[in-house]
Amino acid sequence: MKNSRNILDETPFQTAGPFLHIGCMPNKIKINNLYKNDLGEVPFKNKNEIEMITVEGSVFDGNGIALDDVMLETWQCDENGQFFEDNGFARFIPDKSTKKFKLLTVKPGQVENLDGKNQSPHICLSISSRGLNMTLNTRIYFEGDDLINDPILSMIKNDKVNIDSLVAKKIKKNVYVFDVFLQGDKETVFFDM
Amino acid sequence: MNVKSLVKRNYKKQPEIDFPDYKSSIFRAPKNKKISIPSNLEIFGPIFNKKTIGELDNDLTLNFSKNKNSPLGHKIIVHGTVSDQFSNPIKGALIEIWQANAAGKYLHQDDKNPAPIDPNFSGCGRSLTSSDGSYEFLTIQPGPYPYPNRGIEWRPMHIHFSIFGESFGQRLITQMYFEGDPLINICPMVNSIADEKAKKSLVGKLDTSRSNIQNILAYKFDIVLRGVKQTFFENRQEGL
């Protein structure tokens, strides 16, 4: 049957597989003489480190094992709620020995929703790896912010969803922990957006 | 006011996330249903600068070769266009690819396949699409290879593709297969997609006209990212 609006189908996803580093961050696996830098090494250029926050955590599978072959990508606005074309994107993997990832970035500001309401500060996070037939999307909100009035969080709060999984816990000044659970009781909320 | 939003994703044309035939998905695929939220903020996304892309980044036959020695295997051209669901070409889309060498071996410490590494081949390339949405890579035909799944199984020949369009919500990671490869139909990763037409859209077609002109086998692989639509939104107190 012909689609009445005659739009094309989106190309389907396939898993990124275990060797995604070759294509996306070759310098990380010591393919060094190809690209000068891996893309997304730092989300913002020319920022003062003192004003930055650290978001760290692990990605756990259904056995509770922290994974080291996942790639995380983040996209966010700056501290004033402004989106830029050439800033705000980061790409990283967990450390091979500690299995922890670490994102050093600016705390995002508020951005306006369609209805003019402010969305609470958040970072968009995508996760790709072996075993994931599609890239997963979630959001990192921050403990200590006003999360009650966020239009997205208030929209989904009645769905018995694990809203806690979307909130990075503050462990000290400018340091947050955000663990991702792919399965289990603490399974992270993933979005279709 | 007019606002941009993304066409809702049609999951019937996408792979099943929880697909036990692909063993690695068993303990990694989330079990809960995804929560649907408006896409209006993921309409923004990173745009990559031409200056970051090197001249040989899309030529995998040269970008890692020592003293201009060719990698082993036969050369292929992989080309096509990136458009959105409304057939609008996407200019400046970043395509990153990675693949095994002719022997089916990745240049990666975690690849346990006992096949030889090719010192002149990294299997890594990238390119930005031109103003008409077109892209092109010169590379080597990747070999099929065995991998542990339900026992040992074989991956069909494939190239991994990662694509950034204009929006973070258009992000796509996929694989291109090669027309005529008998391993395609028995691959659990391919078969995680139920829709036959969607499955076929991942198969690069042999492009004989191009192959004959350049003396190099060419494959055409067109990529469609989610559509960006303009909708009128009345900015009232009550909102949506």
One DSSP character per residue, chain B reads: -EEEEEPPP-GGGSB-SS-TTSGGGTTTS--SPPEE---SSTT------GGGS-TTTTBTTTTT-STTPPPSS-EEEEEEEEEETTS-B-TT-EEEEEE--TTS--SSTT--------TT---EEEEE--TTSEEEEEEEPPPPEEEEESEEEEEPSEEEEEEE-SSGGG-EEEEEEETT-TTGGG-HHHHTB--HHHHHTTEEEE-HHHHHHHTSEEEE--EEEPPEEEEE----TT--
Q: What is the CATH number of the domain that holds B169?
A: 2.60.130.10
Q: What pLDDT is attached to residue B237? A: 46
Are the beta carbons of A35 and B64 closer than 8 angstroms? no
Considering only B115-119, B172-176, B203-207, B225-229, which range has the smallest mean pLDDT?
B225-229
pLDDT confidence of residue B239: 43
Inter-chain contact B85–A128, Cβ cutoff 8 Å?
Answer: no
Q: What is the mean pLDDT of residues B135-139?
A: 98
**What pLDDT is recorded for position B90?**
97
Q: Is B210 a catalytic residue?
A: no
pLDDT at A59 over 70: yes
Residue A2 has pLDDT above 60, yes or no: no
Task: State chain A's mean pLDDT as an integer.
Answer: 93
Q: List, for residues A94-122, the tens digit of each pLDDT value.
A: 999 999 999 999 999 998 876 778 899 99
The per-residue pLDDT for A158 is: 74
Residue B2 has pLDDT above 80, yes or no: no
Range of the domain at B195: 2-13+53-232
Instruction: Tell whether the model's pLDDT for residue B10 goes beyond 60.
Output: yes
Q: Are A68 and A111 in contact (CB under 8 A)?
A: no
Assess A116–B contact: CB distance below 8 Å, yes or no: yes
Fold of A20-181: Protocatechuate 3,4-Dioxygenase, subunit A (2.60.130)
Instruction: Identify the pLDDT of residue B5.
Output: 87
Note the pLDDT of residue A46.
Answer: 82
What mean pLDDT value characterizes chain B?
A: 94
The answer to whether residue B131 sits within a structural domain is yes
Nearest residue in chain A measured CA to CA from B236: A115
Question: What mean pLDDT comes out for the span B198-218?
Answer: 93
CB contact under 8 A, B108 and A187: no
Residues in A closer than 8 angstroms to B9, CB to CB, are 10, 192
Q: How far is B45 from A39, CA to CA, in rounded Å?
A: 14
Residues of A within 8 A of B168 (CB-CB) are: 75, 124, 126
Q: What's the total number of domains in chain B? A: 1
Q: How confident is the model at residue B62 (pLDDT cuts 50, 70, 90)?
A: very high
Encoded tokens for A177: 């922990």
B160 part of the active site: yes
Q: Is B155 a catalytic site residue? A: yes
Q: pLDDT (tens digit, 9 = 90+) per residue, A148-179?
A: 999 899 988 876 789 999 999 999 999 999 99
Helix (H) or strand (E) holding A75: strand A70-75
CB contact under 8 A, B85 and A10: yes
Q: What does the DSSP 8-state code read for residue A65?
A: P
Q: Which of B37, B160, B193 has its CB closest to that of A12?
A: B193
pLDDT in the model for residue B214: 80
Task: Compute the distance between CA of residue B174 and CA of residue A9 in angstroms, rounded to an integer.
Answer: 14
Where do the structural domains in chain A lie, given as residue ranges?
A: 20-181
